[in-house]
Amino acid sequence: MVEDFLKKLNKCEFNLRQVKKQTKDRLISMAYDEIILDIKKDKRYLSALLAISYDKTSEIAWRAIHLAGKAIGQMAIDELVEARGQIQRLIWNATDESGTIPWTVPEIMGEAIRENPKPFEDIVPIIIGYSHSETEDNIFLAGVLYALGRIGEAHPQYISDYIGVIVKEGLLHRDPEVAANAVLAAKRLKMTDVDLGPVRQRTEIVKVYYDDKLMTLTLKQLVENG
């Protein structure tokens, strides 16, 4: 009986590796529609996307972030309970109790809302809430700015004056990744009342995902190339 259990376990692990490899290969070849179809047949393909999404220094990870959110957004059309369950799991992953490293939770939820906002209107305040921290070292802040910019670009009705305050504070943040994503958010939200002067003086190198490309450039170049 133990041997049968171990055989089934090993087979399951092998199948999961296959799912992840196939998903990664399709991300590389940009076969996004095929991945969406895979997810409709087997939710493990969504889990594979989430697993691939953690490394934000990789363009493949960013493709996974966008596609995972898009898949959850589309899922809500016919499988609302399942889609809401996926969002709840992301929220759980962002808690200390989960024991996971939730680097990309705000970005994925932001993409789901951008794709299909109505079923997730109550999630926007949760994303905003991740911008609050008792310390300046907030692992979510850059992702929050990215998500709010993406949501507001497509659905400006969800953008409040308070979000503008978060963006303006982000522009002055000492973390270059936070400042970079604040610049992107300001561009996407078409904010005209921001002072980009301080960011224009900064020469730290950052990686940003913009126009479906992962770019490496200085903060100064990010401001001037926009």
pLDDT at 132 over 50: yes
pLDDT at 11 over 90: no
pLDDT bracket for residue 187 (50, 70, 90): very high
Kindly state the percentage of the chain with pLDDT values over 90: 83
> Do 109 and 124 form a contact (C-beta atoms < 8 A)?
no
pLDDT digits (tens, 9 = 90+) for 55-73: 999 999 999 999 999 999 9
pTM: 0.91
- How far apart, in whole angstroms, are the C-alpha atoms of residue 59 and residue 214? 6
CA count, 13 A, side-chain hemisphere, 218:
9
> Do 93 and 50 form a contact (C-beta atoms < 8 A)?
no
Instruction: Report pLDDT for 3.
Output: 53
Q: How far is CA 173 from CA 63, 133, 210, 223, in A?
A: 27, 13, 20, 15
pLDDT bracket for residue 5 (50, 70, 90): very low
Instruction: Report pLDDT for 16.
Output: 83
> Do 112 and 120 form a contact (C-beta atoms < 8 A)?
yes
- How far apart, in whole angstroms, are the C-alpha atoms of residue 226 and residue 218? 13
